[in-house]
Chains A and B, each alone.
Chain A
Amino acid sequence: MATEASTRNDSSVRTDPQWMIRFDKVVKRFGDLTVLRELDFHVRPGERVTLIGPSGSGKTTILRLLMTLERVTSGTIEVDGQCLSHMRRGGELLPADERHLRQIRKKIGMVFQQFNLFPNMNVLRNITEAPVRSLGVPREQAEEKARELLEMVGLADKALEHPSRLSGGQQQRVAIARALAMEPEVLLLDEVTSALDPELVSGVQDLLRDIAHRGDLTLLCVTHEMRFAKDISDRVLMFDQGQIVEDGPPEQIFSAPTHQRTREFLQAVLNA
């Protein structure tokens, strides 16, 4: 893998401000299973992209690769001009080490389907712990920021509660506040409402809609809620079997899909 990347040479570490995210011939295999096949796509800074497609088509894998929770089998991924899998040290191209990865993770935040709040901390500490420990923000300052964020997500009164005492929707809103506390440039949303009871979904979606339309956050969202996808994104990518089969603005994808697979998929989802 190392040799492959070095023959691909300098393009993998070039800084290109035009793209926040670049996938270049990305292949991801789990054993015999090929999840992504030579995937190419680019995302501009501030662009809000929704990934749709049948389950198993590789959408979540894309987010997990970006968050460095998985490694590519081959190909390169760049975030803000920095390659995820390799780094330059003294003119040499080396496999990324922990320091390089942490440098990149600074730019990226992620919200998970299962919230993954830390059960050994109260709500406030869940939000402040990462800025304090990994960015070195003074605790008082982090707490002030956390309270602002809790205010924004409508949970100002829950700061000292234990996460297990919150509803799923509230937990997910805390998780969103927690991700935003790190001030990421890219926010990854991995089926963030799939684990919620139906009546709690809209609260979380409204919040995310606000966040999407404020600021210049680059958003990558995997969802099965097509209305939500339409609301928050200015671009939709339709995936099938590890490749993009259709790429366009939501109006076009949802009302006039050109690809047969997209039509079938939308039919299936909308009739569900």
Chain B
Amino acid sequence: MTISPCSAELPGTLGEAMPFLCEGAVITLQSTLGGSLLAIAIALLVGLMAMSGHAWVRGVARVYMEFFRGTSVLVQLFWIFYAMPILTGFQLDKSFAGILALGLNLGAYGSEVVRGAVQSVPQGQREAAIALNFSPYHRMRYVILPQAFVGMIPPMNNLLIELLKATSLLSVITVADLTYQGRLLVNSGSDQLIVFALLLLIYFLFSYLITLIMRFVEGRAARMVGRGGPGSGRRKDRRWSRRPVSPAETPSVEGAR
């Protein structure tokens, strides 16, 4: 299955559904990309704030994390899109409101990922950086973060997939995403089974695409700190996903840790 048949002539339901679904898919991708960038930026910022030496900075980060994790994306979306204009008189564009809600929400989860990864860098690295008289900024920028980065990627992968799936909520504020287009097709008489099957498939392909990208990034980052890539079990000679692994060998990936 390719995405190109947008304009191709396909028989029956597929033929009428694909152009709409492709349009929706583009919106879904845009929302995912925008939301991801915002979420990652917030995750880094708030995650680092949560480890600040100043109690009030940590407090702000804490409140942010707890608030945005503790309330639903949907309700946050309603607030940003419907309630904010009433309170402030300022109406956001709906796709921007969607990206904002997703970024704020997943960014809160992401900040815990960043904090966890930074704190998992061995204490000795921080101490060596202090002994070499790095400034606090340089310690973080050149010693800690590059090492923490590898550990952030697998949980970030999960979050980005969550974010992708949460874009379907944007249909509620009439953003014409994949889900919205699918519902529209069904309401206007297209075959439900086919349309919903296509939705499943397209969401899955997108989420798999995210996983592939993140694995690639993780492999690069891991090599930069002298470790193997995803699933390498810390053994440099074990390339991930390339070599067929016999069933007898599989447990040793976990066992090697």
- What is A's interface to B at a CB cutoff of 8 Å? 67-69, 98, 102, 105-106, 108-110, 112, 114, 116-120, 129-130, 133-135, 162-165, 178-179, 182
Q: Contact string, B117-129, partner A, CB cutoff 8 A, digits 1/0? A: 0000010110111
Q: A67–B134 Cα gap in the complex (Å)?
A: 13
Q: Distance in Å from the Cβ of A192 to the closest Cβ of chain B? A: 13
With A102-B133, A129-B142, A130-B133 as contacts: A120 and B147 at CB distance below 8 Å:
yes
With A114-B124, A164-B226 as contacts: A130 and B147 at CB distance below 8 Å:
no
Q: Is the CB of B131 within 8 A of A179?
A: yes
Number of interface residues of B (CB under 8 A): 22
- What is B's interface to A at a CB cutoff of 8 Å? 122, 124-125, 127-136, 138, 142-143, 146-147, 224-227
Q: A162–B224 Cα gap in the complex (Å)?
A: 9
Main secondary structure of the interface of A (DSSP, over half): mixed
- When C-beta atoms are compared, the residue in chain B nearest to A135 turns out to be B133
Q: A106–B135 Cα gap in the complex (Å)?
A: 12
With A112-B124, A120-B143 as contacts: A67 and B131 at CB distance below 8 Å:
yes
With A119-B147, A119-B225, A162-B226 as contacts: A133 and B128 at CB distance below 8 Å:
no
Other than A105-B130, A119-B226, A182-B133, give 4 A-B pairs with Cβ distance below 8 A.
A102-B135, A116-B125, A120-B147, A178-B132
Q: Is the CB of A134 within 8 A of B132?
A: yes
- B136 neighbours in A (Cβ, 8 Å): 98
- A120 neighbours in B (Cβ, 8 Å): 143, 146-147, 224-226
Smallest CB-CB A-B distances: 5 pairs: A130-B132, A116-B128, A120-B146, A164-B226, A110-B131
Q: Is the CB of B146 within 8 A of A116?
A: no
- A102 neighbours in B (Cβ, 8 Å): 133, 135
- A179 neighbours in B (Cβ, 8 Å): 131-132
Q: Is the CB of B130 within 8 A of A68?
A: yes
- A114 neighbours in B (Cβ, 8 Å): 124
- When C-beta atoms are compared, the residue in chain B nearest to A69 turns out to be B127
Q: A21–B127 Cα gap in the complex (Å)?
A: 21
With A120-B146, A129-B142 as contacts: A105 and B226 at CB distance below 8 Å:
no
Q: Is the CB of B128 within 8 A of A163?
A: no
With A116-B127, A120-B225, A134-B138 as contacts: A182 and B132 at CB distance below 8 Å:
yes
The listed residue (A69, A105, A165) touching B133 by CB distance below 8 A is A105
Q: Is the CB of A118 within 8 A of B125?
A: yes
Q: A179–B138 Cα gap in the complex (Å)?
A: 17
The listed residue (B131, B138, B147) touching A105 by CB distance below 8 A is B131
Q: A130–B138 Cα gap in the complex (Å)?
A: 9
